[in-house]
Amino acid sequence: MDDPPRMRCLRIGLLLLDLVSTVWSSAQVQVRGRVVDERTSEPLAFVNITIVGAREGTMSDIDGRFHLDVPTLPIALRFSYVGYTMTERLFSEDAFAVVPMQRATIELREVVVQPGENPAHRIIERVFTNRKLNDSMRERSHRYTSYGKTVFTAAMDSAMLSDTARMAALDSSDQEAIDFFDEQHLLLIESATRKSFIPPAAEKEEVLAMRVSGLKDPTLLALAASTKTFSIYAPQIVINEKSYLSPIGPATTDRYLFVLEDTLYQGRDSVFVISYQPKRGRKFDALKGVLWVNTDGYALQNVIAEPMERSGGTSMKLQQQFAKVQGVWFPVQLNTFLFFDFIEMNSFKMMGIGRIYLKEIEVDVPIARKEVRGPELVMDKLAARRDETFWNALRTDSLEGKELRTYHTIDSISEAENIETKIKWLDRLSTGRVPVGPIDIRLDRIMRYNGYEGVRLGAGINTNDKLTRYASLGGYYAYGFVDKASKFGGELTLKPRPGIGPELRGYYEYDVMESGGVSFPWVKQGLNSTESYRWIFVDRMDRVERFGAELSWRVSSSLKAWLGTERNERENLIGYQYAEPAGEGVTLLSDRFLTGTVSLGLRFAWRERLVRLPDRQYALPSKWPVLHVWAMQAVKGLWEGERELWRVDAMIEKTFRLRMLGDLGVRVLGGMADDTAPYPFLYDIRGSYSTRTPIGVSNTFETMRPNEFLADRYATVHLRHSFGNLLYEGKKFKPVPVIVLNAGWGALGHPERHRGYGFSPLTDGYYEAGLQIDNLLRSGFTGIGVGAFYRMGPNSLPDAIDNLAVKATLGLVLGN
């Protein structure tokens, strides 16, 4: 008997439901785990994982984790990764598994590819063509929140830890170090931020929360919360203050060796796995790593990058993972591995591992200008006071036991050893001050040397925030052993908004000042600058008694200003006299000059990056040229001033990182002064040649004698091109070739008015060129080299040998 239609439909429906249920249940078996390096246990990002015999599969994420739905268990999976031996593993249950992979003998092999035959080149060129479309962090407006976690620990060899014989051979201190790092890390930092960005460079990031093991006040490390990172699409990539040629750029296929290692399949799209390293015989600051290129827009899906050469100082390895967000590719996780090869705890080198997760990402959204106005990174006091409920809502995963013990153990050690106070003490020391209770000892006041005073010894103190944050009172005393004179002074600074500004400073000084010198008081010399050696050659100075007031404030993120007034009495004690016509046949000679002045100083750094913390604000190095301007007008009758005169000084400087050519430092310095002004208010052009002290001094004329030229208006250009280690680099011998070019022009309206000093007017231009080879020898952190410079043009000397200057060069060397 035939079934009624209703019953047939019911039976068919039940059969389909049973089939769907069977298929669905069979697809629910999931294999989960993490892929790690067999020797170091470091998670391996972006490992290709497929079922043996199948084409499609999955990929481990940036933390090495993976999950793959499979039809049934047991099942065999294949793991393949650039630089590692292919691994197959049988999974019999759905428990979490750790899969170790063994590093291949040669991580990135040298392959000879004939021109036009490398299939990777076509792929890389398409990535370069589409760079603006896919470089969303630089080319598109966006917002996101982030959670970051960084640990600092010891680099342990897991192979050694599993080798009982090697472990038994370790001494007790190494055993204790292993036990310590097995329980906790040395340092743990957590942070959360919210960031907004408008291309090309308007951005603002707010630190929502920050926590550092061992510190109740994490603001000292606030910069570690920033999610600002490199773009692999940029032509130059800066890692650890060094610039590298990106593998994605014009004609990079001529410099880098690209090898198509594998092709993966993700639905309708393919992913090309391409390794890269510099071609043999090519000398440039290069990276190495792996790129995963998705055919969906030929965008980078994953990136691994690290310097080709790892120095003995600090090195980095970077990983980036991208995903499709609102139809465009955008980073979703950023990993940073820091290697501190120069820091060891017992026999173990230190390393840092940072992971940043981006979420709540909005791309191509309208962002108001006021949202990105002001400092680039902002942190207030509330960020350091978040409770566990707040943190648990931010964390991608809950903290592991080792991380929880890090907070507990390091907090306890810090409190017992008073580590936070010591860190703040070191932070003050980095500014040139040693805090002793409510007083700071000024290191810059202890000892100096110049050609006028000889050795100058002294002491200086200022009150610090322990007394009050809103004011600072200071004073100093010094004595010069050549001029045999005492110097002293004091100052009071009022700070209504501590660390942010404005500030009002009043001061008194009885001291000496360079005659005809140029200075911008806010410009500080870097540790690796040799410009401070110039003071060895400064032997024309005036005794000065002055007092005044100065107001400083930040006008905008790019502009800072100083407005001041001063009473200044200068007296020359070494024979100079100013000859001033007083009538027909009458000339007044004077070596004393009393002025009352008003002054304005400006520092302009386009798009300067500011960091604002609860107790202070500071600027990060600008990638644009920085302009300094200082103008002074002396008004007769102001502060009993006896003269009317004026002077304007300007300086612009920048170091350019040139693609595959090294670093070009440029400084342009110039000024104009009242041509009837006495010598102290004119310009003694900076020369640094002396047979007694043949030392190279940057941003001076190496072949010009000190005090050789005087001008009332001038301009100088100083070019210094460093090739770094691009031309040659050995394991220990790492010379740095430097080309130096200096030029100057000037004029002097009334040379007859200046008596007692020898000089020449700077006319017709001054030109010199030189070659330095720095770092020929190393002594601690000091690099010693040699330089040869030659004087040319209309101001060259008659005898060729007199135009040549050979000097030693000294500089600070960081790293190996």
Residue 600: the pLDDT is: 98
In sign, the C-alpha dihedral spanning 675, 677, 681, 685 is positive
Per-residue pLDDT band at 522 (split at 50, 70, 90): confident
Please say if the pLDDT value at position 22 is more than 50: no
Residue 584: the pLDDT is: 83
Query: Region 331-356: what's the mean pLDDT?
Result: 88
Provide CB contacts within 8 A for 304, sequence distance 6+. Answer: 45, 46, 289, 290, 291, 317, 318, 319
pLDDT tens figures, 375-396: 999 998 888 889 989 998 888 8
Please say if the pLDDT value at position 355 is more than 90: yes
Residue 791 · residue 768 · CB < 8 Å: yes
Please say if the pLDDT value at position 115 is more than 70: no
Please say if the pLDDT value at position 33 is more than 90: yes
pLDDT tens figures, 674-706: 999 999 999 999 999 999 999 999 999 999 999
Please say if the pLDDT value at position 793 is more than 90: yes
Per-residue pLDDT band at 35 (split at 50, 70, 90): very high
Burial class (CB in 10 A: 0-12, 13-18, 19+), 42: middle
DSSP 611: E
Query: Region 777-793: what's the mean pLDDT?
Result: 88
As a whole-number percent, the residues of the chain with pLDDT over 70 amount to 93
Please say if the pLDDT value at position 109 is more than 80: no
Residue scoring higher pLDDT (188 or 782): 188
Among 239-248, 272-281, 719-728, name the most confident range. Answer: 272-281
Please say if the pLDDT value at position 541 is more than 50: yes
User: And the tokens for 700?
Assistant: 């001076």
Please say if the pLDDT value at position 672 is more than 50: yes
Query: Region 758-782: what's the mean pLDDT?
Result: 89
CA distance 201 to 139: 9
Per-residue pLDDT band at 26 (split at 50, 70, 90): very low
In this structure, which amino acid lies at residue 790? Y
pLDDT tens figures, 290-309: 999 999 999 999 999 999 88
Residue 807 · residue 787 · CB < 8 Å: yes
Decide the pairing of beta strands 202-212 and 377-379: parallel
Which range has the worst mean pLDDT, 11-25, 209-223, 652-666?
11-25
User: And the tokens for 579?
Assistant: 């000859």
pLDDT tens figures, 162-189: 778 888 888 888 888 888 888 999 999 9
Residue scoring higher pLDDT (264 or 115): 264
Residue 195: the pLDDT is: 96
CA distance 491 to 463: 11
Query: Region 322-330: what's the mean pLDDT?
Result: 95
Query: Region 503-515: what's the mean pLDDT?
Result: 97
- H or E element in which residue 12 lies: helix 5-26
User: And the tokens for 564?
Assistant: 């001041």
Q: How far is CA 426 from CA 145, 153, 195, 329, 439, in A?
A: 32, 22, 30, 43, 15
Coil vs helix vs strand at 39: coil
pLDDT tens figures, 185-208: 999 999 999 999 999 989 999 999
Please say if the pLDDT value at position 245 is more than 70: yes
Please say if the pLDDT value at position 623 is more than 70: yes
Residue 195 · residue 205 · CB < 8 Å: yes
Q: What is the mean pLDDT of the chain?
A: 89
Backbone torsions φ then ψ of 220, nearest 5 degrees: -60, -25
Per-residue pLDDT band at 311 (split at 50, 70, 90): low
Per-residue pLDDT band at 27 (split at 50, 70, 90): very low
User: And the tokens for 755?
Assistant: 């008596």
Please say if the pLDDT value at position 15 is more than 50: no
Please say if the pLDDT value at position 711 is more than 60: yes
Residue 75 · residue 91 · CB < 8 Å: yes
Which range has the worst mean pLDDT, 130-144, 251-265, 419-433, 594-608?
419-433
CB contact burial 71-93 (16+ within 10 A = b; e otherwise): eeeebebbbbbbbbeebebebee
Residue 617: the pLDDT is: 87
Nearest-5° Cα angle at 275, 271 to 276: 135
